[in-house]
Amino acid sequence: MKRIILIALFCSVSSLFAQTSRQEAERILIQAEESTCFYETDMKGDYQIVHDKPGEGRNVLSAILYRRDAQKKWTILITGPEKDKGKGYLQFDSNIWFYDPADKRFTFSSVRDKFQNTNANTSDFAPQLYVQDYSIESFEDVKLGKFNCILYTLQATSKNVAYPEIKIWVSKDDGLMRKREDYSLSKKRLRTIAVPSYQKIFNGKKEYSIPVNMMIQDHLRGKKINDKVEYEKTVISISNVVFDKVDDMVYTKPYLEMMSVK
């Protein structure tokens, strides 16, 4: 009996000492932020955005994303379907603009706006500044499927964020975000994002980690079907990623106007 008690105490103490320290948790959160930022180079990739609305069907958008994180610039050019071709988004000087070729006009957008009425926000296409825009309210070691993760609860310290509170699951072995939940000021869960896998892209100098796809479930937008609420979902798939310098003009309003087909 004494031996069993001693083993139990040993396991409890070992488990306690295995918990991630505050310093280590802060280091891994920095790593998670840095994995979403590409300050040394431009980034270009093909994006497919599939939006499922329960009872209404599926809409598919294709787009090209260009990012220059060092200057906080990005451009999204929608390439399909035909009715949306030529629309685009542009961020520079901390402002986001949406261009519609139908009326040849730019309108102001924000990080909180939905991307083409999907469950994605414009902010989902930009670097995720977990350290710069948030502070750690709490953290704990958890298991998420096969991943050993730290679960962070983060409170916004910046007004320029889409959500005042988020929870993120970051895998301890590679510092990559695997799951995220977005909350309102009243602590209501608004969205859940899952990133099952990443692709490694090497540009000759550095290896970068890019999600293969991001699955977003919107907990505010749904429909009751067969006595069960089904929520809207959006899957963002990323392919053909290149890390090379992009022409400066790509990050300007004239570029979107020039690329418009309407």
Look up residue 194 and give its amino acid.
Answer: A
Residue 117 confidence (pLDDT) above 50 = yes
47-66 pLDDT, tens digit each = 999 999 999 999 999 999 99
The backbone torsions φ and ψ at residue 166, rounded to the nearest 5 degrees and listed phi first, read -135, 155
Number of domains in the chain: 1
In a domain? residue 122: yes
146-204 pLDDT, tens digit each = 999 999 999 999 998 999 999 999 999 999 999 999 999 999 999 999 999 999 998 87
In CATH, what number is assigned to the domain containing residue 31? Answer: 2.50.20.10
More confident residue, 6 or 83: 83
In a domain? residue 56: yes
Nearest to 125 by CA among 245, 227, 28, 234: 234
Give the DSSP letter string of 138-167. EEEEEEETTEEEEEEEEEE--SSSS-SEEE
> What pLDDT score was predicted for residue 9?
41
In a domain? residue 176: no
In a domain? residue 84: yes
- The domain containing residue 116 runs over which residues? 20-132+196-214+222-259
In a domain? residue 187: no
In a domain? residue 66: yes
How confident is the prediction for the chain on average, in pLDDT? Answer: 91
Residue 259 confidence (pLDDT) above 60 = yes
In a domain? residue 59: yes
191-227 pLDDT, tens digit each = 999 999 999 998 878 899 999 999 999 999 988 888 8
Q: Is the dihedral of CA 254, 49, 196, 166 positive or negative?
A: positive
For residue 138, give Cα distances in angstroms to 25, 104, 144, 151, 158: 10, 47, 17, 8, 18
Residue 18 confidence (pLDDT) above 70 = no
